[in-house]
Amino acid sequence: MASTITGVSQAPSAGAQAENIRVTVRVEPETPDPGDDVSVQVRVRGCPPGDARVEAYLSTTDGATQSAALMGRAPLITTMFYQAHATIALPKAIEGWYGVRVVCGSYRPDRVPLPNTTFAVGAKPSKRSQLIGNSVIEGGVLRLEGDGCPGSKVEYQVAQTGLHAGAFIANGELATNADGTWGGDVTFPVTLAPGAAEVKARCVLQNRYGDVVTINYGGQTQVTVLRAPETTVPPAVTTPAATPTTPTGP
């Protein structure tokens, strides 16, 4: 079965483009899981004949910034009455939210999915990450591990909880195994103040177009940073100087 999504996007007012672009998206299988070969069937109404194409983008966010990576494209085949169709193949699709972009005539929207064209691969996230332990002494280490990464590595970020959300800045990386699992020790810098901290992780891979794509692991792994115990240095032990003796004669 296939799920159907219909979206309408306002095209620029330029000749034949002075009407809405109507996009219908059908996805097979209807509820794709990560690793499925997904077929995205797109029908477009309103594009003039000529050089036109459709593209599928994967949208990601790290909580502060959003990005969209091109994951597939196909030419639009135009029929009469400005109706066109195309099929985008997403082999072994990775988990996340996708959407469709249409390019035709003078219609050149931003390189992000058009409204109302999005669909999910893995509606219920299957990948996981976890921190082994819920507290750590400042400067100490805990193990971070997870699965479901189709890329070559996982990057992680350690930050104080409650600070203003900013872009993901990797503190380190862990290599992935052939089955998508990964794990390793994460160091909590001594610069972290005692209290709540969090660890974020993202899978890093390269798509078929040579672009770097990041897949964020959902949620935030919380941990309590404990102050390192103070060490008391015992006073130095001093040895009394020997009292000189006066030799006595016979």
* Residue pLDDT, tens place only, 15-68: 444 457 889 999 999 999 988 999 999 999 888 777 889 999 999 887 777 889
CA dihedral 96, 32, 149, 86 (to 10 degrees): -70
Residues 208, 157 share a domain:
yes
What's residue 181's pLDDT?
95
- Domain stop point among 121, 148, 177: 121
What's residue 235's pLDDT?
66
Q: What's at 153, amino acid-wise?
A: K
Residues 188, 136 share a domain:
yes
Do residues 23 and 76 lie in contact, with contact meaning Cβ atoms separated by under 8 Å? no
Residues 143, 43 share a domain:
no
Q: What's at 115, amino acid-wise?
A: P
Residues 222, 133 share a domain:
yes
| Spatial distance between the Cα atoms of 157 and 169, rounded to a whole number of angstroms | 6
Residues 136, 39 share a domain:
no
First to last CA, the chain: 120
What's residue 17's pLDDT?
41
- φ, ψ at 16 (rounded to 5°): -70, -10
Segment holding 184, helix H or strand E: strand 182-187
Query: Which of 74, 14, 88, 73 has its CA nearest to residue 46?
Result: 14
Residues 185, 164 share a domain:
yes
Token match 């193990």: residue?
Answer: 143
CA distances to 23, 50, 238 from 20, rounded to whole Å, are: 10, 17, 91
Do residues 131 and 144 lie in contact, with contact meaning Cβ atoms separated by under 8 Å? yes
Total of domains in the chain = 2
Domain that holds residue 114: 12-121
| Spatial distance between the Cα atoms of 143 and 54, rounded to a whole number of angstroms | 43
What's residue 180's pLDDT?
93
Do residues 137 and 226 lie in contact, with contact meaning Cβ atoms separated by under 8 Å? yes
Q: Which residues of the chain have pLDDT under 70?
A: 1-19, 80-82, 162-165, 231-250
Reduced to 3 states, what is the DSSP secondary structure of residue 235?
A: coil
We report the CATH number of the domain holding residue 205 as 2.70.50.70
What's residue 13's pLDDT?
35
Structure tokens at 186: 């994460």
We report the CATH number of the domain holding residue 109 as 2.60.40.10
| Spatial distance between the Cα atoms of 56 and 213, rounded to a whole number of angstroms | 14
Do residues 95 and 126 lie in contact, with contact meaning Cβ atoms separated by under 8 Å? yes
